[in-house]
């Protein structure tokens, strides 16, 4: 599912590509898209009243268990890009986010992706996502 076809709440985070994020071909290195996804997740969490720092303060983390990126067009140094983020799936112990990275000027989709996160405690054991943190995401995912 893409952001364009979803009825779910979508959060956008926009920023310019830094020179350090490009490779010798002058385009954004593929690994940086996962960093862009992280920026999108962080902004999503903040906007829905569930900052990731709050989850960590409760003694939990969301470990990345799956990551997928599909590259459609390149991004270049100093281009304005926008990361669109939404929740695709919520389970008792996991949450899956969807993403689109778009050219901030033309709106062209540059990449799409997903990340799945498993809730773990400080000992690394899989745990249920705390309800007080998760409730904000459930409302957002329902649209």
Closest by CA to 12, choosing from 79, 99, 85, 76, is: 85
3-state secondary structure of 64: strand
Q: Identify the residue with better confidence: 36 or 2.
A: 36
- Predicted pLDDT of residue 5: 52
- Predicted pLDDT of residue 134: 82
Is pLDDT at 143 greater than 80 in this prediction? no
| CB within 8 Å of 107: residues ≥ 6 apart | none
Domain limits, the chain: 3-142
**Residue 54 annotated among the catalytic residues of the structure:** no
- Predicted pLDDT of residue 141: 65
What pTM was estimated for this model as a whole? 0.91
Q: DSSP class of residue 5?
A: G
pLDDT digits (tens, 9 = 90+) for 11-45: 999 999 999 999 999 999 999 999 999 999 999 99
Is pLDDT at 3 greater than 60 in this prediction? no
State in words which class domain 3-142 has.
alpha beta
pLDDT digits (tens, 9 = 90+) for 44-99: 999 988 889 999 999 999 999 999 999 999 999 999 999 999 999 999 999 999 99
91: left (phi over 0), alpha (psi -120 to 50) or beta: beta
- Predicted pLDDT of residue 8: 82
Strand ranges (E), 17-131: 60-71, 80-90, 94-103, 109-121
Q: Identify the residue with better confidence: 70 or 134.
A: 70
In 3-state terms, the chain is what percent helix, strand and coil (to 5)? 30, 40, 30
Please tell me which residue in 23, 78, 89, 121 is annotated as part of the active site: 23
| CB within 8 Å of 25: residues ≥ 6 apart | none
- Predicted pLDDT of residue 1: 46
Radius of gyration of the chain (CA): 15
């Amino acid at each position: 599912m893409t952001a364009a076809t979803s009825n779910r709440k979508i959060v956008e985070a926009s920023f310019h590509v830094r020179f350090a994020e490009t490779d010798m071909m002058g385009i954004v290195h593929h690994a940086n898209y996962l960093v862009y996804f992280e920026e999108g997740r962080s902004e999503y969490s903040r906007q829905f009243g569930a900052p990731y720092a709050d989850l960590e303060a409760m003694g939990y983390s969301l470990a990345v268990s799956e990551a997928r990126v599909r590259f459609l067009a390149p991004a270049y140094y100093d281009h304005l890009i926008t990361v669109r983020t939404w929740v695709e799936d919520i389970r008792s112990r996991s949450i899956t986010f969807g993403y689109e990275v778009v050219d901030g000027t033309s709106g062209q989709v540059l990449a799409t992706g997903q990340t799945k996160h498993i809730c773990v405690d400080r000992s690394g054991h899989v745990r249920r996502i705390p309800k007080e943190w998760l409730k904000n995401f459930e409302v957002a995912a329902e649209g």
